[in-house]
Amino acid sequence: MKTNYYEKMKEVWKIANDALMMRPGFRDIAQGQITIEGYKEVLRQIFHHARENPQIQSFATAYFRGEQRKTVATFFKHATSEIGHDQLALDDLAALGGDVKYIPVENPLPETTALVAYAYYQIQFRNPVGYLGYLFFLEFTPTQNGAKYLEMFKAKGVPESALTFLEEHATVDVSHCKLMERYVNDLIQSDADFEEVAYAIQTTATLYGRMVEASVANAAESTWFGISSEEARRSPKMTTTEWAKETNAR
């Protein structure tokens, strides 16, 4: 009997998600302890992350060979549907009174960069099929956790106009998860492929958790290399070295 890799992916996800829920950032969210400023900073990093995802998914298809190519057209359609989700995060931040003018040209936090970079690393240097684990985590997680997060943020007074990113992913990603079953059938051909996918689910969960934690911490500290976050955002062309020099001169 053929192994049901999709069901096995959900089992791996549950283990990774349970561990994620124990991390400080997600624990604060689940318990309603995250501040509005913390949520705003999470949205800022989500913008930087979500902006890259359509191109990462398209990029993965360059490494598909043989029967794997059957998924290329669907992959491109899926990737196209993700375009603009970064703008939802930016609009949510603006609805909370955040200054979004410079966000598209600022640098993301290192933890956000690590999450994005991992996807490219998995595709290029490990096994491109493993990318399914990265994609699965991003698509499946909102369908399982999104509703309770929406209720929590609403209870904290966050308006509907600042929850469009969460609402979109808690609902639309249900159909995307159905696509995942097709991807699994077409791409995972061996236990070795599945192990790469499982590794990617676990790694993505860990890196995503660190991005959220760093976001909340950054909101609390409001500094970057000794310069306030606000100053840094209003000087998007200033390099890290220049920031450090200015800090030392003060």
Reported as a single tens digit per residue, the pLDDT across 72-113 is: 999 999 999 999 999 999 999 999 999 999 999 999 999 999
- pLDDT digit string (tens) for 163-207? 999 988 887 655 667 789 889 989 999 999 999 999 999 999 999
Q: 127 vs 13, 60, 199, CA distance in Å?
A: 19, 10, 11
Token output for 246: 């200015």
pLDDT of residue 225: 43
Q: Report whether pLDDT(230) > 60.
A: no
Residue type, 220: A
The pTM score is 0.86
156/84 Cα distance (integer angstroms): 27
Q: Report the alpha-carbon distance of residue 214 to residue 208 in Å, rounded.
A: 10
CATH of domain 5-220: 1.20.910.10
User: 163 CB contacts (<8 Å, ≥6 apart)?
Assistant: 92, 150, 153, 154
* Residue 57 contacts residue 135 (beta carbons within 8 Å): yes
CA–CA distances in Å: residue 86 to residues 30, 58, 79, 160, 175: 23, 16, 13, 17, 19
Distance, C-alpha 56 to centroid of its chain: 12
Average of pLDDT values for 205-228? 79
Q: Where are the domains of the chain?
A: 5-220
**231 vs 71, more confident:** 71
